[in-house]
Structure 1
Amino acid sequence: MTSHGKNWLVAAAVMSLIASLLHVASIFGGGDWYRFFGAGEQMARLDEAGSWKPAIITAVIAIILAGWALFALSGAGIVRRVPLLRTGLVAIAAVLLARTALLAFPATWGPDASFAFMAVTSAITGIMGLVFAVGIAKSWRYMRRSSV
C-alpha cells in the first residue's frame, strides 16, 4: 500500500478517536458539556436531573466512534485485519456523508438542533467522511490482498 492511503486512514482513525474522547469527556463534563457540544437542552437537563440516559446514549456513540477508528487502523495495516474490513469502511464513510447531507433537510433535525450546530457538525462529519473515502480508495487493492 502506498503511504498515502495509509496516511489517510490513520487521519480518519485519529479524527474518530478524538470524537470518541470528546463524547466520553461530555459524559464526565455533564450538562454544560452537552450544551456546549450541541447535544441539546433536553440531554443537558436529563443529565442534571441524574438520568443515565444521556450517558448511555453518549457512551454508545463513543464506542461506535472508537470502533470506526479500529477499522481505519486495520485498513491502514497498523492493527490486525478486522472482519468485513472493506464493507465496514465503506459503510462508515457512507454514514458520515449521509449525516453531512442532513444539513440540506431541516425537517430531519432534532428539536434542539440549530442551524449553527448542524452546519458545524455537518462540516466535521463531511471532512471525516471524505478522509475515510479517500483512504479507502487509495488502499482498496491492498485491503483485498492483505491479511494484516
Structure 2
Amino acid sequence: MPPSLNPALLLAAALSFIAALLHLGCILGGPAWYRFFGAGERMAQAAARGSWVPAGVTAGITLVLLAWAAYALSAAGAVPRLPLLKAAIVAITVVYLLRGLVLVPALVFKPTHVTPFVVWSSLICLGYGLVHLLGVVQVWGRL
C-alpha cells in the first residue's frame, strides 16, 4: 500500500501553483499588474512599451514555480517520483527560506530600502519555506 499523502507538501504545491498563476496574471494583466505586485516601475514601463523582457522574465519565474509545485507534489506522494527529488525539494525549501529571511539583513543594514513589497513578499516566501520545511521533515525517511 502506498504511503499516505503529506498535507504540508500538498499545501506547499498549492502555494507554488498559486504564485505561478499570479505571475501569469502579471503577464496577462500588463503594466498595472506589474505595478500592483511590486515588480518595479522599470518592469511596468517596459511592459507598457511592449518589450518582451517583462513577459519573458515573468514566464521564466512561472515555469520555475510550476516545477517547484510538481516537486512538492512528488515529495507529498501525489505524483510519481521526480528525478533528484530529495535534492530538489531541499533546494526549493532553502530558496524559499532564504528569500524570506532576506528581510532581516535588509531591515538591519538598509532599512531605507525596505519597501512594502520587500516586507510582504519576504513574509510570504518565509511562510512558503516553513510549509515546505514541515513537509520535508515529515517525509524525510521516504525521500
Q: TM-score, normalised by structure 2?
A: 0.90
Runs (5+) with no aligned partner, structure 2: 108-112
TM superposition outliers: structure 1 runs of 4+ over 2 Å: 104-107
Quick one: distance in 2 between partners of 1:51 and 1:105? Answer: 33
Supply the AA of the counterpart residue of 1:137.
V
Supply the AA of the counterpart residue of 1:14.
A
Which residue number in structure 2 is paired with residue 35 of structure 1?
35
> Are 1:98 and 2:114 matched, yes or no?
no
Quick one: distance in 1 between partners of 2:7 and 2:26? Answer: 29
Are the structure 2 counterparts of residues 49 and 114 from structure 1 closer, same or farther at C-alpha, using a change threshold of 3 Å? farther
Runs (5+) with no aligned partner, structure 1: 108-112, 144-148
Which residue number in structure 1 is paired with residue 129 of structure 2?
129
Which residue number in structure 2 is paired with residue 75 of structure 1?
75
Alpha-carbon contact 1:20-1:66 (below 8 Å) kept: yes
Local SS of the residue matching 2:20: helix
C-alpha deviation, 1:88, in angstroms: 0.4
Alpha-carbon contact 2:97-2:126 (below 8 Å) kept: yes
Q: Which structure 2 residues correspond to residues 105-116 of structure 1 after superposition, within 5 A?
A: 105-106=105-106, 114-116=114-116
Q: Which has the higher contact order (CA 8 A, sep 6+)?
A: 1
Quick one: distance in 1 between partners of 2:138 and 2:103? Answer: 28
Alpha-carbon contact 2:106-2:114 (below 8 Å) kept: no
Quick one: distance in 2 between partners of 1:119 and 1:127? Answer: 12
Q: Tell me whether 13-22 or 134-143 shows the greater mean CA deviation.
A: 134-143
Which residue number in structure 2 is paired with residue 26 of structure 1?
26
Quick one: distance in 1 between partners of 2:36 and 2:80? Answer: 37
Q: May I ask how many residue pairs the two structures share in their alignment?
A: 136
Alpha-carbon contact 2:4-2:77 (below 8 Å) kept: no
C-alpha deviation, 1:114, in angstroms: 4.7
Q: TM-score, normalised by structure 1?
A: 0.88
Identical aligned residues as a percent: 43
Supply the AA of the counterpart residue of 1:100.
G
Supply the AA of the counterpart residue of 2:24.
V
C-alpha deviation, 1:2, in angstroms: 5.5
Alpha-carbon contact 1:2-1:139 (below 8 Å) kept: no
